[in-house]
């Protein structure tokens, strides 16, 4: 996406020369949980993951943010700190909205409405995901994930770590569920991280409640 196609472009076009465009490589730290980094980023291209770490050292994926969304230590704008790192999960291109610029933009009621809508929407999705981890079994969540990420009857994954991170599930439990699905003839493993879905009806039935909860709309 080019900057001119960004949702917020009409609000920033008069200040575009004052707003740095930053490029970051996959894996690069964008914002550190313990730094007083109050500048806000707007994603033009790529994806950022937001994660935190428990006292025991376990990393928890909090959110995944794509283009046309705000990122960074947004909690500072509410005088708090969620202690989350923002890391580029792909190569990313970002607009850097520093304090002075954000203060200027937030005086525009239309921009502030867009900002609060987008950030509150992210919080809602984060909360909904957290609830799903408590409302449904890991087997149901894996069933939903397989269907959601499948194409033409195939579930292709690049990294078991990414699946575990997204579902907040241990590698051991994930492998147990996948192996059980294989034994029941629900999926069939091929080479290079490919599963053929053999029993679509089972997965749909097993994930029906998850789908209804995550995808319901009014």
pLDDT digits (tens, 9 = 90+) for 53-109: 877 778 888 899 999 999 988 877 766 667 889 999 999 999 999 989 999 999 999
Which CATH number applies to 136-215?
1.10.10.10
Q: Which uninterrupted H or E stretch holds 81?
A: none
Residue whose entry in the numeric block shows the structure tokens 């850097």? 96
CA angle 170, 188, 144 (to 5 degrees): 50
So what's the pLDDT on residue 37?
Answer: 66
Residue intervals in the chain for CATH 1.10.10.10: 136-215
Instruction: Say if residue 42's pLDDT is above 90.
Output: yes
Q: Are 48 and 86 in contact (CB under 8 A)?
A: yes
* Mean pLDDT in residue range 159-186: 93
Tokens linked to 163: 């699946």
User: Which one has a higher pLDDT value, 80 or 41?
Assistant: 41
So what's the pLDDT on residue 136?
Answer: 96
Q: Which fold has domain 3-134?
A: Jelly Rolls (2.60.120)
Q: Are 41 and 52 in contact (CB under 8 A)?
A: no
Measured distance CA(210)–CA(142) in Å, rounded? 10
Beta strands (DSSP E) in 66-160 are 70-72, 85-88, 92-97, 150-151, 154-156
Instruction: Say if residue 139's pLDDT is above 60.
Output: yes
pLDDT digits (tens, 9 = 90+) for 120-132: 988 888 889 889 9
Mean pLDDT, rounded, of the chain: 91
Residue intervals in the chain for CATH 2.60.120.10: 3-134
pTM: 0.79
Measured distance CA(37)–CA(35) in Å, rounded? 5
* Mean pLDDT in residue range 111-122: 93
Which residues neighbour 164 within 8 Å (Cβ) at sequence distance 6 or greater? 170, 171, 174
């Amino acid at each position: 996406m080019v900057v001119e196609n960004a949702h917020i472009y009409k609000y920033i076009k008069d200040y575009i020369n004052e707003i740095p465009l930053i490029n970051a490589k996959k894996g690069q730290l964008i914002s550190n949980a313990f730094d007083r980094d109050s500048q806000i980023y707007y994603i033009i291209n790529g994806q950022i993951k937001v994660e935190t770490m428990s006292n025991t050292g376990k990393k928890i994926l909090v959110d995944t943010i794509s283009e046309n969304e705000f990122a960074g230590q947004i909690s500072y704008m509410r005088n708090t700190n969620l202690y989350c790192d923002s890391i580029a999960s792909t190569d990313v291109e970002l607009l850097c909205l520093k304090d002075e610029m954000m203060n200027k933009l937030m005086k525009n009621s239309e921009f502030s409405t867009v900002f609060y809508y987008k950030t509150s929407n992210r919080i809602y999705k984060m909360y909904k995901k957290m609830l799903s981890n408590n409302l449904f079994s890991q087997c149901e969540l894996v069933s939903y994930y397989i269907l959601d990420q499948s194409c033409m009857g195939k579930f292709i994954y690049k990294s078991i770590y990414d699946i575990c991170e997204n579902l907040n599930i241990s590698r051991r439990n994930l492998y147990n569920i996948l192996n059980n699905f294989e034994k029941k003839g629900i999926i069939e493993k091929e080479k290079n991280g490919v599963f053929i879905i053999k029993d679509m009806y089972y997965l749909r039935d097993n994930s029906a409640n998850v789908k209804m909860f995550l995808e319901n709309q009014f």
